[in-house]
Amino acid sequence: MDAKNEIKHLRSEIARHDRLYYLQASPEISDFEYDALFARLKRLEAEHPELVTPDSPTQKVGGAPVDGFAQVEHAVPMLSLDNSYSIEDVREFDARVRKSLPAQESPSYVAELKIDGVSVSLAYRGGVLWRAATRGDGAVGDDITENVKTIKSVPLRLKGQFDPGEEIEVRGEVYIPRSDFEKMNEEREAAGEQLLANPRNATAGSLKLLDPKMAAKRPLSVFIYWLRAAENKMPDSHSGCLDMIREMGLPVEPNAEVLRDVDALVAHLEKWEDRRSELDYETDGMVIKVNSMAHQRALGGTSRHPRFAIAFKYPPEQKETAVVSIEVQVGRTGKLTPVANLEPVRLSGTIVKRATLHNRDEVERLDIREGDRVLVRKAGEIIPQIVAVVKEKRTGAEKPFAFPEQCPVCGSETSRQEGEVDVRCVNPFCDAQLRERLAHFCSRQAMDIENAGPSLINQLVDRGLVHDFGDLYALTREKLESLDRMAEKSAANVIEAIDRSRKAPLDRLIFGLGIPMVGTRTAKQLADEFGSLDAIASADAERLTQVTDVGPRVAASVKEYFERDAAKNVVEKLRGAGVNMTQERRSEGPRPLDGLSFVITGALSRPRDEIKRDIENAGGKVVSSVSKNTNFLVCGEDAGSKLEKANKLGVPVIDEAALARMLSPS
């Protein structure tokens, strides 16, 4: 077989195995054999790049990133459906449908589970997928072709014979299966990343990724429920459309059913109320469609909703269970969150063991006690809510819950700022906040320890390798190499960055310590005024307030920070590790930019932070917007409104070279 024919053969085999795997769930070959076919195809295509076509399965890994999404006008508007919330509503819908049809006609219905995902339109030409779009506002959506191409169950070529220019459009719902969603969140939790709220949001986010290679990694899937084809090919019923969609190799939700009248329909809706929670995808109801296409045409619709279909929404599932205990967790920012541990119940497909109680006010509002019977509900979000306490079922043995006055992790006092609902632990050394503190210490504006991202920091904390900033300096390449996803090269890079940070300027160290209320600017002023960490640590409040930005509250915060034993220990550890703790005092003697105010704009040769630091080191001030008080606008290429404003106000405009001359006047 020549390369061209072998490629053709491999593609159709891979497409067939994809269908067997993703549509029929009955694979004929092992993953290993499948991978071998795929690898062979990839090799042949690499050897014969002229034979690569957009419908090749190798194109499913994701193409080049895009800057944004082009707009796509839908040939037929993508309408949404009218909602109904009760069986009565559904019977009324049936009555309306009958009234609009000739008396002797008795409409049958198709009921489809309403997948809670993101609707998309897929356009095929000559059987090949050429464009995919989001619903957008119904008339115009985003072109998300490159991302949709990476969805495993979306065929790049339809099964069957098609004329070269023949257009077929299908629409459906992209979703992330529950099991995959839970896996994604487990991975996020392990990496210390923020959890995704629900599969629908995760799906929408995935489709809007600008890098298709990232989208290819998301476990997206699709169900198709709508078809537009040439008139002579259109089936005369909706169930016929579903059959045709299936025959073309597109996935259709397997539980769609034709119901002969409204009674059968109602029985079907009731049957699925509980059953839908067993599916591996989220559904929020049932879509009911008049089956006959002739009836559909006769019924028509308004500009927003068709009259031949309706969405029936199930109420969010709610269950009763018992509160085993109430605990208070301390988050990364010191926030105290009360959480109820529950007797496990199955709710909308997952086992619920905990529910957040949000904050102190909510605990008081619910008057929730350990041992209480409560109603829990999952309303779209992953974290279940407690709807109410079933007070009639109280026996008197329930234990009222007292919100702790001290931090449950470190025992320090807690505080609640005026106007805030959250109670926080005030101890900046609280163990619960360790990860966040480390991330801050390593950040670019602080010690600039590159590559120390959340995943590394989490591992360091989880394995007990790092308890405070000082421990970072005791890390070795060998220790780092023992961590997950840490190759030799990256371990060496991290060590090098840590090493480099020993020489970081004093103001960055001060900022990196994370003293409450001390930002980059105050840190700079403290460094300039005192010249060493020790001088700052031993200064009294009055001396501290001599610094421009330091008022009584900041001074108190600095003093309180350095008075803690934990701070003293960390400072000693850092000193022992050879971290720089001094700089020249800058408050004496005039500096070249004293009293001058700068605005920076446009594309410059160095990061803005750096330029800003240089200006501040020389006594200048950098502000964000141009006013008549601005002394200079430092301007790079492609400057916009700031340059305009400076010209209008007569503010002198200088380039980087001129700034450099001002910084070090010879």
Kindly identify the residues of this chain, within the stretch 444-483, that bind ligand IVH according to CB under 6 A: none
Q: How far is the CB of 296 from ligand IVH (least distance, A)?
A: 9
Q: For 70-117, what is the HEC assignment?
A: CEEECCCCCCCCCEECCHHHHHHHHHHHHHHCCCCCCCCEEEEEEECC
CB count within 10 Å of CB 519 equals 12
State which of residues 14, 97, 115, 347 lies at the interface with ligand IVH (CB under 6 A): 115
Give yes or no for residue 109 binding ligand IVH (CB under 6 A): no
**What CA–CA distance (Å, rounded) separates 411 from 244?**
66
User: Which is nearer to ligand IVH, 309 or 618 (by Cβ)?
Assistant: 309
The torsion angles phi and psi of 627, rounded to 5 degrees, stand at -140, 180
**Which x/- pattern over 116-145 shows residues binding ligand IVH (rule: CB under 6 A)?**
---x--------------------------
Of the residues 114, 149, 378, 559, which is catalytic? 114
User: Which is nearer to ligand IVH, 205 or 516 (by Cβ)?
Assistant: 205
State which of residues 191, 311, 382, 556 lies at the interface with ligand IVH (CB under 6 A): 311
Give yes or no for residue 295 binding ligand IVH (CB under 6 A): no
Give yes or no for residue 173 binding ligand IVH (CB under 6 A): yes
With contacts defined by CB under 6 A, name the span among 304-312, 517-525, 586-594, 642-650 that binds ligand IVH: 304-312
CA 246 to each of CA 23, 238, 241, 275, 476: distance values in angstroms, whole numbers, following the listed order: 9, 12, 9, 24, 58
**Looking at this protein, which amino acid is placed at residue 430?**
C
Q: Name the residue among 68, 222, 199 with its Cα closest to residue 149.
A: 222
Give yes or no for residue 287 binding ligand IVH (CB under 6 A): yes
Do 155 and 129 meet the contact criterion of CB atoms below 8 Å apart? Answer: yes
User: Which is nearer to ligand IVH, 309 or 447 (by Cβ)?
Assistant: 309
Do 263 and 109 meet the contact criterion of CB atoms below 8 Å apart? Answer: no
Give yes or no for residue 309 binding ligand IVH (CB under 6 A): yes
User: Which is nearer to ligand IVH, 142 or 173 (by Cβ)?
Assistant: 173
Give yes or no for residue 114 binding ligand IVH (CB under 6 A): yes
Give yes or no for residue 599 binding ligand IVH (CB under 6 A): no
Do 93 and 266 meet the contact criterion of CB atoms below 8 Å apart? Answer: no
**What CA–CA distance (Å, rounded) separates 449 from 462?**
19
Q: Name the residue among 632, 642, 630 with its Cα closest to residue 601.
A: 642
Copy the structure tokens of residue 399: 């234990």
User: Which is nearer to ligand IVH, 243 or 610 (by Cβ)?
Assistant: 243
Q: How far is the CB of 114 from ligand IVH (least distance, A)?
A: 4
DSSP state of 383: S
User: Which is nearer to ligand IVH, 225 or 632 (by Cβ)?
Assistant: 225
User: Which is nearer to ligand IVH, 294 or 421 (by Cβ)?
Assistant: 294
**Which x/- pattern over 62-101 shows residues binding ligand IVH (rule: CB under 6 A)?**
-----------------xxx--------------------
Query: Among this protein's residues, is 114 annotated catalytic?
Result: yes
**What CA–CA distance (Å, rounded) separates 223 from 221?**
7
Kindly identify the residues of this chain, within the stretch 494-513, that bind ligand IVH according to CB under 6 A: none
Number of residues that bind ligand IVH (CB under 6 A): 14
State which of residues 69, 162, 225, 401 lies at the interface with ligand IVH (CB under 6 A): 225
Give the torsion sign (CA, 547, 553, 559, 561). negative
Do 90 and 266 meet the contact criterion of CB atoms below 8 Å apart? Answer: yes
Kindly identify the residues of this chain, within the stretch 227-286, that bind ligand IVH according to CB under 6 A: none
- β-pairing verdict for 83-84 and 309-313: parallel
Do 231 and 210 meet the contact criterion of CB atoms below 8 Å apart? Answer: no
With contacts defined by CB under 6 A, name the span among 91-99, 306-314, 466-474, 552-560 that binds ligand IVH: 306-314
Positions that interact with ligand IVH (CB under 6 A) = 79-81, 112, 114-115, 119, 173, 225-226, 287, 306, 309, 311
Q: What is the set of active-site residues?
A: 114
